[in-house]
Amino acid sequence: MNRLNSPALYLLHGHKGVAPAPRSESDTDLAASFLRGDREAFATLARRHQLLLYRTLRRFTQNNDDARDLTQRVFQRALEAAPRSFPRLVSTGQENAVRAWFLRIAINLAKNHVRDASRWRTTDLERVSPILASVERLQRDLEAAQMRSTVRRAIGDLTPRQREVFLLRVDGELPFAEIGASLGMSESNAKAQFHHAVKRLKEAVHKIAANEGRHAL
């Protein structure tokens, strides 16, 4: 019997907010275990990727609570789809296939969320660094906050594909191969999209800064 399915361990670990000890199997091994009836394997996958999904979803939401709730919806959607999708993911044998699959679900949900909210977050002032002691630092911080605001507005003007690639690279810190797998494109295409995004962002930031009469970068 799988030791994590034991009722005694559920008594120890099953209460709210406490996760069982992490398992060391690979993502595809866990997916295969889930298909054999080990439901705890899915929980391990969710715990393993929750932070990456949250980091990615933060960009698409107005606040951290929305990002957290959206992350939970990813798990619900993933559990529904797992019996259909895991056999294919396991058969590929690619280690990052499960993570890319989770990210695909997250991005689709995020896009729906943005569409439903009919807005794209353009400012992020609540996440700007805390209040500073000195006036000089405050001035510098305000300029940095303006810069962040400008750049994030410019991100909203990218094409959807460029934006997704850019955010997975910057927020998810993923390699291009994995970004490509998550978005259904080749590694070289993901890389090209990223470079186009950077170029367009630079142009957009210069334009916005010129309109507002201040230095760009």
Q: Measured between alpha carbons, how far is 130 from 141 in angstroms, rounded to an integer?
A: 9
Q: Measured between alpha carbons, how far is 104 from 111 in angstroms, rounded to an integer?
A: 11
- Which token pair is 55? 């980091």
Q: In this chain, which of 23, 59, 99, 113 binds other proteins, going by CB under 8 A?
A: 59
104 versus 198: smaller Cβ distance to other proteins: 198
**Mask for 70-89, x = binds other proteins (CB under 8 A):** -xx--xx--x----------
Q: In this chain, which of 19, 117, 132, 138 binds other proteins, going by CB under 8 A?
A: 19
- Which token pair is 125? 């002032």
Q: In this chain, which of 64, 91, 92, 159 binds other proteins, going by CB under 8 A?
A: 64
Does 151 interact with other proteins (rule: CB under 8 A)? yes
Q: Which residue has the tokens 């997704």?
A: 164
Q: Which residue has the tokens 């439903």?
A: 116
Does 165 interact with other proteins (rule: CB under 8 A)? no
Does 5 interact with other proteins (rule: CB under 8 A)? yes
Burial of 67 (0-12, 13-18, 19+ CB in 10 A): buried
Stretch that binds other proteins, among 86-94, 132-140, 180-188, 200-208 (CB under 8 A): 200-208
95 versus 173: smaller Cβ distance to other proteins: 173
Does 125 interact with other proteins (rule: CB under 8 A)? no
Does 114 interact with other proteins (rule: CB under 8 A)? no
Burial of 161 (0-12, 13-18, 19+ CB in 10 A): middle
- For residue 100, give the nearest of 1, 108, 145, 163 by alpha carbon: 108
Exposure string for 37-54, b = 16+ CB within 10 A, e = fewer:
ebebbbbbbbebbbebbb
Burial of 189 (0-12, 13-18, 19+ CB in 10 A): middle
Number of chain positions touching other proteins (CB under 8 A): 54
Q: How far is the CB of 138 from other proteins (least distance, A)?
A: 18
84 versus 93: smaller Cβ distance to other proteins: 84
- Which token pair is 105? 């679900």
Provide the binding-site residues for other proteins, judged by CB under 8 A: 1, 5-7, 10, 14, 16-19, 39-40, 42-43, 46-47, 50-51, 54-55, 58-59, 64, 68-69, 71-72, 75-76, 79, 124, 127, 129, 144, 147-148, 150-152, 155, 166, 169-171, 173, 175, 194-195, 198, 201-202, 205, 216-217
